[in-house]
A and B are shown apart, each in its own frame.
Chain A
Amino acid sequence: MINHAEAAEKFNRDEEHVNWHDKSLWLVRQKRDAAAAHFKGWEELRNLASEIKTHTLSKLDQYLIEFEEQAIKNGAKVHWAENADEHNKIVFEILSKHGAEKIVKSKSMLTEECGLNHYLEGKGIEVVDTDLGERIVQLAKEPPSHIVMPAIHKKRKEIDELFHQHLKTELSGGDEVYLARAAREHLRQKFLNADAALTGANFAVAESGTIVVCTNEGNADMGVHSTKLHIASMGIEKIIPRKEHLAIFLRLLARSATGQSITSYTSHYRSPKPGGEFHIIIVDNGRTTQLGRTEFRNSLKCIRCGACMNTCPVYRRSGGHSYGSTIPGPIGSILSPGINLNDYNSLPFASSLCGSCSDVCPVKIDIHTELYKWRQVITKDLNKNKFKKIIMLDSGFIFSHPLLFKLSGRVVNSSLKIMPEFLKNNMIKAWTRKRELPRAPEYSFQQWYKKNRE
Chain B
Amino acid sequence: MLVGLFIPCYVNQFYPQVGIATLQLLEKQGLKVEYPVNQTCCGQPMANSGFEKDAIKTYKLFVKNFNRYDYIVAPSGSCVYHVKKHFDIIEQTEEVKKVRSSIFEISEFLLKVLDKDEFNSYFPYKVGLHQSCHGLRGLNLGKPSEIIDESFSITKKLLSNVKGIELVQLDREDECCGFGGTFAVTEEAVSVKMGIDRINDHLNHKAEVITATDMSCLMHLDGIIRRRNLQIKIKHITEILNSMEK
Contacts and interface: CB of A to CB of B under 8 A. Distances in A.
Contacts of B190: 5, 8, 12, 313-314, 317-318, 350
A359 B137 contact: yes
B186 A5 contact: yes
B227 A396 contact: no
Contacts of B10: 420, 438
Interface in A399-454: 399-402, 405, 409, 412-413, 418, 420-423, 427, 430-431, 433-441, 443-450, 453-454
B119 to A, nearest CB: 20
B57 A33 contact: no
A87 B20 CA distance: 64
Given A5-B189, A8-B189, A354-B133, A421 B45 contact: yes
Contacts of A314: 187, 190, 194
Contacts of A392: 45-46, 49, 51, 54
Contacts of B175: 313, 356
B192 A434 contact: yes
B80 to A, nearest CB: 15
A17 B84 CA distance: 40
A443 B176 contact: no
Interface residues of A, number: 81
Given A376-B50, A438-B223, A445-B7, A430 B186 contact: yes
Given A356-B144, A359-B146, A448-B19, A5 B222 contact: no
B185 interface: yes
Interface stretch (A35-43, A72-80, A119-127): A35-43
A169 interface: no
Contact of A446 (B12, B137, B148, B187): B12
A33 B146 contact: yes
A437 B133 contact: no
B122 interface: no
B149 interface: yes
Contacts of B181: 353, 422
Nearest to A427: B185
A267 B35 CA distance: 64
Interface in B185-234: 185-195, 197, 219-220, 222-224, 226-227
A375 B49 contact: yes
A313 B178 contact: yes
Interface stretch (B36-44, B98-106, B157-165): B36-44
Interface string B18-38: 111001000000000001011
A389 interface: yes
Contacts of A436: 222-223, 226-227
Nearest to A369: B85
B184 interface: yes
Contact of A354 (B51, B176, B188): B176
Nearest to B145: A33
Interface in A363-400: 372, 375-376, 378-380, 385, 388-389, 392-393, 395-396, 398-400
A70 interface: no
B179 interface: yes
A398 B183 CA distance: 21
Nearest to B33: A453
Contact of A400 (B57, B189, B226): B57
A82 interface: no
B146 A393 contact: no
Given A8-B190, A314-B187, A22 B176 contact: no
A442 B156 CA distance: 32
A388 B58 contact: no
Contacts of B58: 396, 399-400
A373 B224 CA distance: 30
Contacts of B193: 12, 15, 18, 317
Q: Which of A12, A358, A423, A445 has the most CB of B within 10 A?
A: A445
A334 to B, nearest CB: 14
A421 B9 contact: yes
Interface in A315-371: 317-318, 349-356, 358-360
6 contacts: A352-B194, A359-B137, A372-B86, A379-B51, A436-B222, A445-B11
Interface of B: 7, 9-20, 23, 35, 37-41, 43, 45-55, 57-58, 61, 86, 133-134, 137-138, 144-149, 172, 175-176, 178-195, 197, 219-220, 222-224, 226-227
Given A393-B54, A420-B45, 11 more contacts: A354-B133, A399-B40, A418-B14, A420-B14, A421-B45, A422-B181, A434-B192, A444-B13, A446-B37, A448-B20, A453-B23
